[in-house]
Structure 1
Amino acid sequence: MSVETDALLQEVKENIEAAQNYRSELQQRLQGLSQARKQVRGSSSHTRDALHRHFQELQTSLGRVLTERLGALLQEVDVIERESISPLDDCQKLIEQGISSADELLREGEAAIRCGISDREEKLCHFTKKALHIQLDSLPEVPALVDVPCVSAQLDDSLLRVMQEYVSRHGNVSSHPPVQIEELVERPGSISVHWCKVDEDFTPQEFRLQYRRSNAPQYEDVYVGKDSEFLVLHLDAHTDYLFRVCARGEGRTEWSPWSIPQTGYTTLAPHEWCPGVDGYILSSRRNIAMRSDSTQGGEGSCVLYSSSPTYFCGQTLTFRIAAAGQMHSQDSLGVCADNRGGVESLQRDQAVCISTSGAVFVNGKEMTNQLPAITIGSAVTFDMEVVSLFPVSNNNNPNDGGTFKLRVTIGSGNREVVFDWLLDQVVDSLFFGCSFAHPGWKVLVF
């Protein structure tokens, strides 16, 4: 086979491979297009159902309210009519009794006139006495029409106009939610959720974040507030979670439509304190440690380390103080290269830490820069990045001696300190720890 044939055959093979890749890419785009079409049609169908359901509920509720109000007004009419007619009925009975008595008296008077002369005087006297008894000059009082209730209803015709105007503005349909989840960042046992608004005309007043396991039936609220990011804690590693966010517009009471759900997961094991250390009580998830009275009694402390070296450079390690006790100069929160025992504080070699007074220690030496004192609610953060590695051995093995330099940023309150931390060996991950001399301190790590 000639060289030209070989080159042509190679070009054909390359074209075939390129065509296969091209077809694969087109098929993936076709699949993406199908998912997009499914989202449009699915969300449209869901929105139609929601609109029908909402307005049907409004019609039912409004009809019930109108019926109840009509019934109450009709009942008021009935009460007024009943209370007003009763005295008129009594007056009518009295008048009818008077008419009956007058008719009877007339008949007796006419009979007395027509009777014979022998009985006339007796009957005339009896008639006269009876007429005096009836009191023909006393008439019952009939109320004037102005004093009698004239029932009417005052109905504001503008109500219908106001309702029509309000209903005409009620609800809105949008093609895109005003806020969307922008980024999901895995953290140890947690996920940092970041979102942003995508509608320039929408002014958010506060946000609402929900999440659920991918196989769970319902979402649950995890955050409501003004921030556009939130760290969702207590998540299981290698488990899919769905996140969605909505917002309440400025001056509005209703929430906006939910963002398109985003799936996130963390592969990082959660930070945990080491169990079984004398003087410390841990929560069920081992992410909260509380300094208790030591079973050995007496003042002093030992370091409580993490259960394993789970902190890696490039992450943010946070200690949040949930309760505070009495301060001591040996108190410390920090990160270390090892979990050596027999020490009372992280204010030692191969460790960086901050004391409860705000003093910062690097390899056991106190820095001149100081952070605010630690109190209830304080959040202390540690951020680290690798700066350089200076090998000193001949075989250039970075794990065989050398100086490992990390750039450390410790933040507390609205202040932070930045410095370089030198270690005598390369470490892939670091321990964290704390030490408190007095009981009452409670710290959450994440």
Structure 2
Amino acid sequence: MGLSTGEDSSKQEGLEDLKSNLEMYLDHLNEAKVQIQSSADQTEAALESAMAAVLQQVSAALDERKAQLMKEVADVKNTALKQAESCSRLAQEHLQRTEELLGSLQSGDSLEAKQMTAEAIEELASQLPAPSSLPRPALQLPSSGAVLAAVRQLGRVESTVTVAGYEDDCDPSEGDGSYRLQYCYGDANKQTSPVFHTAYEGPETSTLVRRLQCDVIYSFRVSRQVSAGGAWGGWSPPVTGATTLPHYEWSPSPAYSITDSGRIACRTGDGGDTYTGGDSVIYSAGAQLRPGAALRVAVVEAGSGCSDEGLALLDGRPDQGEDGALIGKGALFVSATGEVYVNGRRRQMRLPPLQAGSYLTFSTERRDQQTTRVCLETGDKQVVYDWKTESTDLWLAASFNELGWKLMLE
């Protein structure tokens, strides 16, 4: 029986559209599988190459260090043997004179005419160092556990999502176009009318989307404008992704009111408009800044700002109540007036002062087992410090005596 009504015709068109969409989805899915395999192959090759290079560098560094230590062993040995040889000559001389005196006594000669008496020889002999006191080479090495732990933490594999515009075949290097990235909550492919929000619009082909919730699925899509003022191209198919990293947040403090799931701290004091006592320091909820990550502090509202107020990274959380600990050992402190202190020592480079609307970004990378490279960026100025730290993950702290400061973590 054929289709004879408008309703049946509409159903047929809908099914045909659905069929086309499903076929297109399967095509895109096959392309994604090829891209996943290609990315995996490239990543494996890069990993092999990187590890081979690291192994070669480590081997060369070990050989160099071994040669240096062997030279130090030889230096200690030669110095000790020279001291032993000198002592041996003196002991031989004292032995010879002692034997001469002993021979004189046995032959009945008088010792008074001898230039050196037995007492004098005994006195000189007593000044010779004990053989056990001569230096000997010894080796001190760090525990293999610490070295192996650093090796086991070398590198990190990340799961990344690439959002590509299927309807845009233009070369990104051509023209002066822009990109628009949007996201929505959940899987847009399973929603009837997903609500998208614009996360970025501009010329860059990559961007960092902030303020995403941990373990929550988001959908992303992108469109391209080939030339300024021109029409925007079609949207790419939505791609889903999620972050497994918890967002930065403040720990509760009686001197600050906390809002926005812990992201915003306002210096009020016990939730009121005045605060006259207690600790003016607030800490992050933990050692949340990891190597390779960035933490941006947005100054939403600001006071006048003093040199003893500001933000700090901490190599371990100090005891509460010690405001001065933020400008001491184990702390990298940026004052509200722009001074930078590393382990209590003021550095020459200054940053712009903290004020409403400004941002201070902390980014870190681990240089070796004992050194963290910290990059501070605010406005158009950037400074970098190599900081000796015991911990790889760092705390954030803020100290403001004046009421009204409002800080947001991103």
Counterpart of 2:387? 421
Counterpart of 1:334? 312
| SS of alignment partner, residue 257 of structure 1 | coil
Instruction: Indicate whether 1:409 and 2:409 are aligned.
Output: no
Return the match for 2:287 from 294, 309, 328: 309
- Is the Cα contact below 8 Å between 1:222 and 1:232 reproduced in 2? no
- The structure with the largest strand share of the pair is 1
* Structure 1 residue 412 displacement after superposition: 1.4
Matches of 1:413 and 1:194, distance apart in 2: 29
Counterpart of 2:227? 250
- Is the Cα contact below 8 Å between 1:203 and 1:249 reproduced in 2? yes
| SS of alignment partner, residue 287 of structure 2 | coil
| SS of alignment partner, residue 273 of structure 1 | coil
Bigger Rg over Cα: 1
Instruction: Indicate whether 1:344 and 2:323 are aligned.
Output: yes
Task: Give the 3 Å change call, closer, same or farther, for CA 36–320 of structure 1 in structure 2.
Answer: same
Instruction: Indicate whether 1:268 and 2:245 are aligned.
Output: yes
* Structure 1 residue 353 displacement after superposition: 2.0
| SS of alignment partner, residue 212 of structure 1 | strand
Instruction: Indicate whether 1:283 and 2:265 are aligned.
Output: no
Task: Give the 3 Å change call, closer, same or farther, for CA 194–286 of structure 1 in structure 2.
Answer: farther
Counterpart of 1:132? none
Task: Give the 3 Å change call, closer, same or farther, for CA 193–348 of structure 1 in structure 2.
Answer: farther
Q: Give the aligned residue type for 1:332.
A: G
* Structure 1 residue 251 displacement after superposition: 4.9
| SS of alignment partner, residue 36 of structure 1 | helix
Counterpart of 2:367? 387
Task: Give the 3 Å change call, closer, same or farther, for CA 311–328 of structure 1 in structure 2.
Answer: same
Equivalent positions of 1:55-74 (< 5 A) are none
Counterpart of 2:54? none
Task: Give the alignment's TM-score, normalised by structure 1.
Answer: 0.50
- Is the Cα contact below 8 Å between 2:176 and 2:228 reproduced in 1? no
Matches of 2:244 and 2:208, distance apart in 1: 15
Task: Give the alignment's TM-score, normalised by structure 2.
Answer: 0.54
* Structure 1 residue 326 displacement after superposition: 1.8
Matches of 2:240 and 2:330, distance apart in 1: 39
Deviation per CA, 1:248-307, whole angstroms, max 9, x where unpaired?
A: 3435464211124333221111111002x1221111311111112566833885211011
Counterpart of 1:437? 401
Counterpart of 2:26? 35
| SS of alignment partner, residue 370 of structure 1 | coil
Matches of 1:291 and 1:308, distance apart in 2: 20
Counterpart of 1:221? 197
Matches of 1:219 and 1:265, distance apart in 2: 17
Q: Give the aligned residue type for 1:200.
A: D
Task: Give the 3 Å change call, closer, same or farther, for CA 331–38 of structure 1 in structure 2.
Answer: closer
Number of residue equivalences: 250
Matches of 1:235 and 1:34, distance apart in 2: 27
| Percent identity between the two aligned chains | 27
Q: Give the aligned residue type for 1:382.
A: F
Counterpart of 1:120? none
Q: Give the aligned residue type for 1:406.
A: T
- Is the Cα contact below 8 Å between 2:268 and 2:404 reproduced in 1? yes
Matches of 2:162 and 2:243, distance apart in 1: 12
Q: Give the aligned residue type for 2:262.
A: R
Task: Give the 3 Å change call, closer, same or farther, for CA 38–329 of structure 1 in structure 2.
Answer: closer
Deviation per CA, 1:142-182, whole angstroms, max 9, x where unpaired?
A: xxxxxxxxxxxxxxxxxxxxxxxxxxxxxxxxxxxxxxxxx
Instruction: Indicate whether 1:199 and 2:170 are aligned.
Output: yes
